[in-house]
Amino acid sequence: MSISYTILGVLMDAPAHGYSIKKTLLESFSPQLDLNDGQLYPALARLEQRGWIEKEVVEQRSSPNKHRYRLTPPGRREFLRWLESAETQDAPAPLDFFWRNDFLQKTGFFRHLEPGSVGSQVREKLGEVSRCLADLERSLEALPGGADPYRRMVVDYGIRYQRMRREWLKELLVCSGETAGGRPRALAGQAT
């Protein structure tokens, strides 16, 4: 259900076709926020099937016609219901940050690796996160000054998130270094 409501949200402002929905999201949040085609078009079909949006075909000289979608009254109601409802669906498991985070899952087993190997992985990740952070900071600056403050806050969330990850990774680097430094490492039964 996640992506559907964002689509409805974009259609709250004006009717649009699939491709322009993508563009709107890119422009009003961040160029990083991309929407998968294989997700977008089936989602539009589902929304139409439920009667929340309506299609109108706009003929184009060039072959692929535009499908302009507009919100129906039930669609608008449904969107507002979702927006107002307190029961947010996220974090069914409070540790959702763990289960969809490959790197964090690896971290839990780093003791099976040599400290040097941990260090190089952490440094690589650090670079990745830093690059991502820089992109987000740039896209926040690029947002027009008068832009919806809530949309700025969404990008700001991303920035805070990446900063948090950066600081955590630095700590992790220290952690791996200390372990190498001289602490006995204790354990570690069996290895083949």
What's the min distance (Å) between Cβ of 5 and a copy of itself? 6
Q: Which is nearer to a copy of itself, 65 or 120 (CB)?
A: 120
Q: Which residue has the tokens 């184009």?
A: 60
Q: Which is nearer to DNA, 5 or 110 (CB)?
A: 5
Residues in 103-122 at the binding interface with a copy of itself, rule: CB under 8 A: 103-113, 117, 120-121
Contact assessment for residue 78 and residue 52, using Cβ atoms and an 8 Å cutoff:
yes
Nearest of 103, 106, 94, 95 to residue 166 by alpha carbon: 103
- The HSE-up count of residue 153 (CA atoms within 13 Å, CB side) is 3
Nearest of 107, 102, 112 to residue 122 by alpha carbon: 107
Site string for DNA, 20-59 (x = CB under 7 A): x--x------------xxxx-xxxxxx-------------
Residues in 54-83 at the binding interface with DNA, rule: CB under 7 A: 60-67
**CA atoms of 54 and 70, how far apart (whole Å):** 5
Strands 53-58 and 16-17: unpaired
Q: Does 81 bind a copy of itself (CB under 8 A)?
A: no
What's the min distance (Å) between Cβ of 88 and DNA? 12
Q: Does 183 bind DNA (CB under 7 A)?
A: no
Q: Which is nearer to a copy of itself, 50 or 77 (CB)?
A: 77
- Token pair for residue 176? 């791996």
